[in-house]
Amino acid sequence: MALISDLITSNSAVYFIAGCCIGGFWLYRRVSAFQNLPGPPSPSFLTGTIYVFMFQTTVLALAGSLLDVVSPTTGREWLASVNNIYGGAAKFGTLFGGRSLVVNDPRAMHHILVKEQDSFEEWSAFADINTLIFGPGLLSTLGGQHKKQRKMLTPAFSVKHLRGMTPMFVSVARELETQISSMVKSGSKEIDVTVWLNRFALEVIGRGGMGHSFGKLSEASIFSDATKQLMAAVSAVIPGAALAPVLKYLGPAQFRRFVGKLIPWSLLQRLVYIADVMEDEAQKILKKQLEDLDNDVTDKDGQDVIGILLRANRTSVETERLSNEEVVAQISTLVFTAMDTTSSAIGRVLHLLALHPDVQEKLRVEVTEAYNHQDEAIDFNNVVTALPYLDAVIKETLRVYPPVPTMFRQTLNDTVLPLLHPITGENGTVIHEIPVEKGTDVFVNIIGSNHNPKTWGEDASEWKPERWLSELPESVAKIRDLSGVFAHQMTFLAGNRACIGFNFAQLEMRVVIAILIQSLEFSVPKDKEIAWNLGLMMIPVLKGSNSLQSQLPLIIKKREI
């Protein structure tokens, strides 16, 4: 017995020493990685700097209460100015003393998103969260499954198919204009435009994405009420991302949601409710789509995305087909990606026009004259020719204020990031490339890239629509050649995880702004100040609010056409 006791004691000591060595080596790798890279000091070993710099309003949702962790004025400004402070790449502290990268150097971003995109995969925590909420859709899948889904969906977002959808965009936009005009016919009025822009974006993606109407814009529904809370709920539960992998493998979606409802966290339970509402509606939409396909129904506004996908699915070889579960997930994913991001972008344009009445009037004159001189409807697909100032306003807004400020990647193997613009290390040496170890979290700084003064000039952070009306600097064209991205900017990313619906979003923005600006005049309330909080996306709120619920009150006045 003594021998056994000695053996156990001896093995325990060995295990303890081995564990300490492994843990020490792991910690050394985490702390020593990017040792020479510049970056902000880490105020806490436990939390690092990620909550301070990467999120304007990071909230901890415990027992249904919201705790504002940082000031809503740090994150976006830091991301936008990181070039001026540290250069095209910087280290920052993450949990338990770890080191991650925030990257906005053009060549490094091209390496991450295009050249070596298979080495930089979507952050697994976000993929897991998206799986729990939407199912195995385009935002949730990785590797080969993602590529297969994207291949099936891409034709539905082509310019050719979008041309057929333009009359639908115009119809819904005119419905929105009519609804708002009726509210201000007796005089100017303060209106929270986010409510109406969300309904507009939902109806557009409903008809164009699924061949389905969610109802009149004037009437709220259980589905519209649930989806308008989706982004806020997702942003609020991000601190609980560690639970996602556990819940993901608990079994079927219904069982996972049952377990989620048992967790005493009111925001998580709310998110489960929203996911249930979305899936129920998606199942109904898929059932109707399959019936229409079987009956060869073709009397819709145009070839919608899901209809095109289902037809392609039926003619594909079995190994390339998507399951019904995947199609349902695409429907929910389309609602999430197309509603909040686009309505936020449209809201930002209206807010900027309200802040800059001279730009608003110049745009109104252009649109009005274009409509007066057109024998037929304006070709919104060729807006650079038809409405160049509108095109400039939208491009500049998307550049300076991208709806999604940053994206997340994780390295799948050791690699090296080359830099277009060398940076100076903490020891004074010049750094031309950065070795990156497998498993490193990399933050793709979209705002930082769009505000890079080495690309856009010293006025990079200023909102100047006129810059698009003349020849852009050679440094901007170089970025276009390097990455092949939209309008020389990173707003829609690049590579195989770039925004698949960027043409859809642009067309939607062009149409609704052109129609609203003709008959409505926008200004800001004198007694309220709008701030844009940084979470998973930019969210308008009343300044000083710690809420993630969007709110954008504007004074709207009816104009005679």
Pair type for strands 65-68 and 59-62: antiparallel
Contacts of 464 by beta carbon, 8 Å cutoff, 6+ apart: 396
140, 500, 149, 139: which is closest to 320 by C-alpha? 149
Point out which residues pair with 530 in neighbouring strands: 542
Burial of 66 per CB tally in 10 Å (0-12, 13-18, 19+): middle
Q: Which residues of 178-198 are buried (b: 16+ CB within 10 A; e: fewer)?
A: eebeeebeeeeeebebbbbbb
Instruction: Please give the angle made by the CA atoms of 65, 230 and 439, to the nearest 5 degrees.
Output: 85
Q: Is 499 annotated as a binding residue?
A: yes
Q: Quick one: CA dihedral 275, 279, 280, 282, positive or negative?
A: positive
Nearest-Å Rg of the Cα atoms of the chain is 25
Contact 559, 519 (CB under 8 A): yes
Q: In the chain, helix, strand, coil percent, each to 5?
A: 60, 15, 30
Burial of 11 per CB tally in 10 Å (0-12, 13-18, 19+): exposed
Q: In degrees rounded to 5, what are phi and psi of residue 120? A: -125, 95
HSE-up of 351 (CA within 13 Å, CB side)?
A: 25
241, 282, 51: which is closest to 129 by C-alpha? 241
Burial of 351 per CB tally in 10 Å (0-12, 13-18, 19+): buried
Q: What is the DSSP letter of 229?
A: T
Instruction: Please give the angle made by the CA atoms of 332, 334 and 340, to the nearest 5 degrees.
Output: 100
Please state, in angstroms and as integers, the Cα–Cα distance from residue 501 to each residue in 325, 334, 389, 420, following that order. 21, 9, 23, 29
Please state, in angstroms and as integers, the Cα–Cα distance from residue 537 to each residue in 43, 77, 312, 534, 545, following that order. 25, 14, 32, 6, 16
Structure tokens at 347: 């809201």
Structure tokens at 258: 């049952």
Structure tokens at 289: 């789509």
Task: Please name the residue ranges forming H helices in 68-142.
Answer: 75-85, 106-110, 124-134
Instruction: Please give the angle made by the CA atoms of 255, 258 and 259, to the nearest 5 degrees.
Output: 90
Structure tokens at 465: 């629509």
Annotated binding site for heme: 499
Annotated binding site: 499
